[in-house]
Amino acid sequence: MVKLAKVDSVSITSNIEKQFEEVSSAFLHESKLVDQFRRHKRKLRISLTDRCNFKCSYCMPDHPTWLAKHDILSFEELYKFCEVMVKLGITQIRLTGGEPLMRKGVVNFINTLNELRPLGLQRISLTTNAYYLEKYAVELKQAGLDDLNISLDSINPDTFFNMTQKPLEPVLKGIHAAKDVNIPIKLNCVLVYGQNDKEILSLTDWAYQNGFELRFIEYMPLDQPEHWKREKVVIEDEIINVLSSQYSIYKLERSNDPATIYMLNQHFKLGIISTISKPFCQSCDRLRLTATGELFTCLFANSGTSVRPLLENDKEKDLINTILETVWHKKAGYVAYQAAPVRKITMHSIGG
Ligand code: SF4
């Protein structure tokens, strides 16, 4: 059970006003995005679209209804939001989806985001299923993308197809195209009992031989309501158990990375994101924006705060106040939401 110390003695309102004054004046690189548990936010994940050409069962409802174009934030609004967030202390922006490469203009948007580097932005990242990556790899590199997270749930074509409803081959081509232009890559695999739980070793062997950093992710209740079951989760300890039959394993000290990092055979880095069995919320430094402009402070939050009207009307001071107040009220994390009513947002809308 995660226990976090709440800051009781500080008045939220005066704190927010004070933070706003500080933001306006100086210290642009220091994070003003702090919650009631003193966790500073450095990472922002932006869902560019809810659309995806895959149909991963742990992510997508059976019958998704896609957002209309006019429902999603324009790139101008997104840039405005990013600019404010970087001024408030965000140093890393990750673009997600749905599948972000399905949104026209994504490369140009990445190009534009580079203008925020002098304000403190350090990394621009993208999470993709890699299906269209072969086409975009060179352009993404030229646009200044710093790194890629690629979903790869199996290296077996049949399992891959069963989990995504798409062939594996274009994905592998996309991965190698990104490698050829030297974009750093992390592979992400969500393990689900009965689907790919028998492929821990084969996927690790493949990543090991091809020199790709791999991360296993515990299956989270972010899919269609009623789909997720605790017994379908392959937990960190089980993964380590399987891997230890083939590899020597050394656990590294925990950092702010959501993954626990292990060294295999003393040189191969493998991460495990264990939200279910070992939540790491006490160090959470992430915020999320949906394609419709809702700011979520946690993957498991039941609702977000809409910032779209403030972006449309260019009300920067109100926008900053709203952001700071929303962040301040961030709950402890996964544990705090377990007793909450059924979620209203699935992974494909919040970007994982
Ligand atoms: S569950 Fe929420 S608070 Fe915990 S690490 Fe994930 S996003 Fe952060």
- The CATH number covering residue 41 comes to 3.20.20.70
Q: How far apart are alpha carbons 279 and 67 in whole angstroms? A: 31
Mean pLDDT in residue range 195-208: 97
Give the rounded distance of the alpha carbon of 121 from its chain centre. Answer: 17
Distance from Cα 335 to the centre of ligand 1, integer Å = 9
Mean pLDDT in residue range 66-81: 96
Check whether 73 has a pLDDT greater than 90: yes
Mean pLDDT in residue range 139-161: 97
Check whether 119 has a pLDDT greater than 90: yes
What total of structural domains would you count in the chain? 1
Q: Cβ(70)–Cβ(22) under 8 Å?
A: no
Residue at 7 is within a domain? no
pLDDT of 26 reads: 40
Mean pLDDT in residue range 272-276: 92
Check whether 185 has a pLDDT greater than 70: yes
Q: Which of 42, 47, 96, 298 to mutate to test the pocket of ligand 1 (most atoms within 8 A of CB)?
A: 298
Residue at 60 is within a domain? yes
Check whether 19 has a pLDDT greater than 70: no
pLDDT of 11 reads: 41
Residue at 42 is within a domain? yes
Q: Cβ(219)–Cβ(233) under 8 Å?
A: yes
Mean pLDDT in residue range 249-253: 94
pLDDT of 222 reads: 78
Residue at 161 is within a domain? yes
Give the structural domain span for 110: 31-336
Distance from Cα 251 to the centre of ligand 1, integer Å = 22
Report which protein residue has its CA nearest ligand 1's atom 3.
333
pLDDT of 342 reads: 56
Q: Cβ(213)–Cβ(207) under 8 Å?
A: yes
Check whether 21 has a pLDDT greater than 90: no
pLDDT of 339 reads: 64
Residue at 347 is within a domain? no
Mean pLDDT in residue range 179-196: 97
Three-state secondary-structure class, residue 18: helix
Residue at 298 is within a domain? yes
Check whether 28 has a pLDDT greater than 90: no
Distance from Cα 66 to the centre of ligand 1, integer Å = 26
